[in-house]
Structure 1
Amino acid sequence: MSSFFPFFSPFLLFLPLFIAHPPSYFLYSLSPLYLLFFFFPFFFFFFLSLVLFFLFLFFLHFLLFRLTFFFFFFVLYFSWRIFVVRIFIAHAFISVRFFPSFLLLFFDSFV
């Protein structure tokens, strides 16, 4: 027995394990790719939650800004129309009231 002692090592106890899973398997288990696949459910749900969160932010932005823009557009439409009508009325009044002086300035520029 003592003659076989140098050839005996604890490694021989794990020899079937290394035959079933070569050392490359253990080296591969330390690679980031293996860690990525090992933690794939965590990464998957983490990034899925991020995507859903940013989609939620996008729709929240759409609801808060785009729809409020349309709301104010339709609400202020009549007031803007009245404002434009007032501008036209004021422009017509000023044009009729000061038409001779504008006409004189127009002809005076050619003299």
Structure 2
Amino acid sequence: MLVRIVKMGFHAEHVDTFLEHFNAHKDQIRHFEGCKFLELYRDKNTPTIFFTYSYWESENHLEHYRQSSLFTSVWNKTKVLFSIKPEAWSVDKLESLT
């Protein structure tokens, strides 16, 4: 299981636009082949900072999504709203305690 974490910072005036855009596409992203889980987080201290957290069956599934027209469309509309360079991490899930 691959976990993808993406940190994004937005200009304050673009936060609502980002949230509307995310809400319009979240189900398509979550149901893309290989995506098993998707969450959006907002930083408690800096409300213009967001994180997406997603589970992928494999690196190949994530890469297929990143090469898709869905990703291209979503990312092109999102990246123009950034106030900082986004950061992304691909990590292996080792343990989960619930």
Band of TM-score, shorter chain: under 0.3
Q: So what's the TM-score if we normalise by structure 2? A: 0.23
Flag the structure with higher strand content. Answer: 2
Flag the structure with higher helix content. Answer: 1
Higher relative contact order (CA 8 A, sep 6+): 2
